[in-house]
A = this chain, B = another copy of it.
Amino acid sequence: MIRIPFNEIKQEFKRILLKLSFPENKAECCAGIFADNSLDGVYSHGLNRFPAFVEYVKKGIIDVKAEPELVQRNGLVEIWDGHSGPGMYNATLCMKHAIELAKTNGIGCVALFRNNHWMRGGTYGWQAANSGCIGICFTNAGAGMAPWGGTQPRLGNNPLVIAVPGKDGPVVLDMALSQYSYGKMQEYQMVNKRLPFPGGYDEAGRLTTNPEVIRQTNRALPIGLWKGSGLALLLDMVLTAITGGKSTAKITAEKIEASVTQCFLCLYQENFHPELIEEIIAYTKTSKPTEPGDEITYPGERTMKRRAENLRDGIPVNEEIWKEVKRM
């Protein structure tokens, strides 16, 4: 494992995207997000995912020239067509519009269909909270979980993000609705490790901690068993109801996870009571740890620590993948 400075990684990504005919602004945005994801320790959606992203561009699944388009306005709800452009660029733009709506009206919602994968959902949560907004966003995905009581995957693991501005930085929850995201399972598999808790089912329908097996069966375990199953279903319904875009059913039928649907919801007011958010954090941390000496952390807290470390020491990278990217 070697460490590479943030700027070097970002510039490398940008060089490649420009070579792939990305316009300057899109190359800057997407390279920045991939580099930020690795910087924050979300390696599965940073450097490690970059080669697959490039493949999608080369295959024409991601249209680098496409611009998202506002196709319908229902009061303060805007519906945008992503026209299969780069997912993170479109998502960033839509969250920006949701923030603007919220700053003017207290609340705003932008829903985006025909978009590519937004990579790490947390990106847009940080974006909202860094602008002083509460941000709620979610996406659908191809089927990777069986509905509760069923044996075949029919639900996306549809990540849900909730971000709240805080005194010492945002609190950002970014979670797939499977116990482990597929990206996280890939990380475990890359280092030949088992999952700490059962994360899905094997071919025989038994729970397993083997990430490779779960990635083959496509049967991740929903958080809370029937509850995560229900939540994944409802998020897909909300996205589809608002936009008329592709549901998990249709995304799955196309065999390739493109043209997903996302929603960006923001709230804004002058005073979000940061002192009360501090109080909640302080109270939560008073719970006696399971392991003496451990600390209870809130979502986003470790991310900020890792960001500072990786900025200082460089981002740890998988050498194989880094070499592959350098050759692109």
- Residues of A at the B interface (CB closer than 8 Å) are 73-77, 104-109, 134, 136, 146-155, 160, 162, 164-165, 171, 173, 175, 177, 179, 197, 205, 222-225, 227-228, 230-231, 233-238, 240-242, 244, 247-249, 267-269, 271-273, 276-277, 279-280, 283-284, 286-291, 294-299
Residues from chain B with Cβ under 8 Å of A152 in the complex: 286-288
Distance in angstroms between the alpha carbons of A298 and B236 in the assembled complex: 13
Distance in angstroms between the alpha carbons of A79 and B288 in the assembled complex: 35
Docked-complex contact A231 and B173, CB < 8 angstroms: yes
Distance in angstroms between the alpha carbons of A298 and B233 in the assembled complex: 8
Contact of A205 among B177, B233, B268, B290 (CB under 8 A): B290
Copies in the complex: 2
Docked-complex contact A249 and B179, CB < 8 angstroms: no
Residues from chain B with Cβ under 8 Å of A294 in the complex: 149
Residues from chain B with Cβ under 8 Å of A230 in the complex: 173, 175, 298-299
Distance in angstroms between the alpha carbons of A197 and B225 in the assembled complex: 10
> What are 22 inter-chain pairs, A to B, with CB distance below 8 A?
A75-B107, A105-B105, A107-B108, A134-B238, A148-B296, A149-B295, A149-B296, A150-B296, A152-B286, A152-B287, A152-B288, A154-B287, A154-B296, A155-B284, A164-B237, A165-B241, A171-B233, A171-B237, A223-B225, A240-B276, A242-B269, A242-B272
Residues from chain B with Cβ under 8 Å of A238 in the complex: 134, 136, 162, 164, 267
Query: Shortest CB–CB separation between residue A244 and chain B, in angstroms?
Result: 5
Distance in angstroms between the alpha carbons of A276 and B155 in the assembled complex: 15
Residues from chain B with Cβ under 8 Å of A287 in the complex: 146-147, 150-154
Distance in angstroms between the alpha carbons of A146 and B276 in the assembled complex: 20
Given known contacts A109-B267, A273-B241, A150 and B228 CB-to-CB distance under 8 angstroms: no
Docked-complex contact B280 and A248, CB < 8 angstroms: yes
Docked-complex contact A299 and B267, CB < 8 angstroms: no
A299 nearest CB neighbor, chain B only:
B230
Docked-complex contact B280 and A237, CB < 8 angstroms: yes
Docked-complex contact B240 and A273, CB < 8 angstroms: yes
A125 nearest CB neighbor, chain B only:
B234
Query: Shortest CB–CB separation between residue A277 and chain B, in angstroms?
Result: 6
Given known contacts A223-B223, A233-B299, A236-B280, A290 and B149 CB-to-CB distance under 8 angstroms: yes
Distance in angstroms between the alpha carbons of A294 and B149 in the assembled complex: 8
Docked-complex contact B205 and A249, CB < 8 angstroms: no
Residues from chain B with Cβ under 8 Å of A288 in the complex: 150-152
Distance in angstroms between the alpha carbons of A242 and B237 in the assembled complex: 26
Given known contacts A146-B287, A155-B284, A247-B280, A175 and B242 CB-to-CB distance under 8 angstroms: no
Contact of A227 among B223, B240, B268 (CB under 8 A): B223
Distance in angstroms between the alpha carbons of A241 and B134 in the assembled complex: 9
Docked-complex contact B283 and A151, CB < 8 angstroms: no
Query: Shortest CB–CB separation between residue A158 and chain B, in angstroms?
Result: 12
Residue from A236, A237, A291 with most neighbouring chain B CB atoms (10 Å)? A237
Query: Shortest CB–CB separation between residue A225 and chain B, in angstroms?
Result: 6
Docked-complex contact A77 and B107, CB < 8 angstroms: yes
A222 nearest CB neighbor, chain B only:
B224
